[in-house]
Chain A
Amino acid sequence: DAGVIQSPRHEVTEMGQEVTLRCKPISGHDYLFWYRQTMMRGLELLIYFNNNVPIDDSGMPEDRFSAKMPNASFSTLKIQPSEPRDSAVYFCASSPLQASNEQFFGPGTRLTVL
């Protein structure tokens, strides 16, 4: 298995533009998580899905952020419009239903908003 796949790995955009981050979880995993990592705030959980259904989106900072999971193998995190303070590394992670509870992280997307 290739692990959790994220794209793009790096994104540089200008303030006001729409940004879409993509994630493919490990096949068979029932949970998918989106995190944001910054020096100031550490690892923040933005939203997570169970069987493609959003369970908790209380970490989504503003209405500018939205996430979807149209099927078990794909999820997107969209920021519209983007702002410089959105600059961070965004990680996607997936986890099986039970078993070890371990979350497997993707390589992350480094977003820079100018």
Chain B
Amino acid sequence: GENVEQHPSTLSVQEGDSAVIKCTYSDSASNYFPWYKQELGKRPQLIIDIRSNVGEKKDQRIAVTLNKTAKHFSLHITETQPEDSAVYFCAASRNTGNQFYFGTGTSLTVIP
């Protein structure tokens, strides 16, 4: 089955700096890669996703890049703000079954 690894497990940045979280996956058939944000005590919520036919996607301060050859994808947050502090999960999935394989999460702290 799929194995998703996520790094780092914790990340602290100064407000205004950028944050980068990286994930690798093992199944070359995976073609959908969502990123979820989970605030303390809340549910995970989708913040951005990318499909395997695209190399990069941006949404305001958030961007995701995908390298299919190397089987890795990354989340980039620019101009970080305190409200970006949360745990971020990457995941990989095939179209069939919609089953997600989640990474172990990155706890991001943005220091004001």
Contact = CB atoms under 8 A, between A and B. Distances in A.
A binds B: yes
Interface in A16-34: 31, 33
A105 B100 contact: no
Nearest to A103: B100
Interface in B58-112: 89, 93, 95, 97-105
**Is chain A's binding surface mostly helix, strand, loop or mixed?**
strand
Contacts of A14: none
Interface string A72-104: 000000000000000000010001001011110
Given A45-B100, A95-B98, A108-B43, A101 B32 contact: yes
Interface residues of B, number: 20
* Chain A interface category by residue count: 20 to 34
A105 B43 contact: yes
Contacts of A43: 44, 89, 102, 105
A105 B89 contact: no
A61 interface: no
Interface in A39-79: 42-43, 45, 48, 50, 55-56
Interface of B: 32, 34, 42-46, 49, 89, 93, 95, 97-105
21 contacts: A31-B98, A33-B99, A33-B100, A42-B102, A45-B101, A48-B98, A55-B99, A56-B97, A91-B44, A98-B95, A100-B49, A101-B32, A101-B34, A101-B95, A101-B98, A102-B49, A103-B34, A103-B46, A103-B100, A105-B45, A107-B42
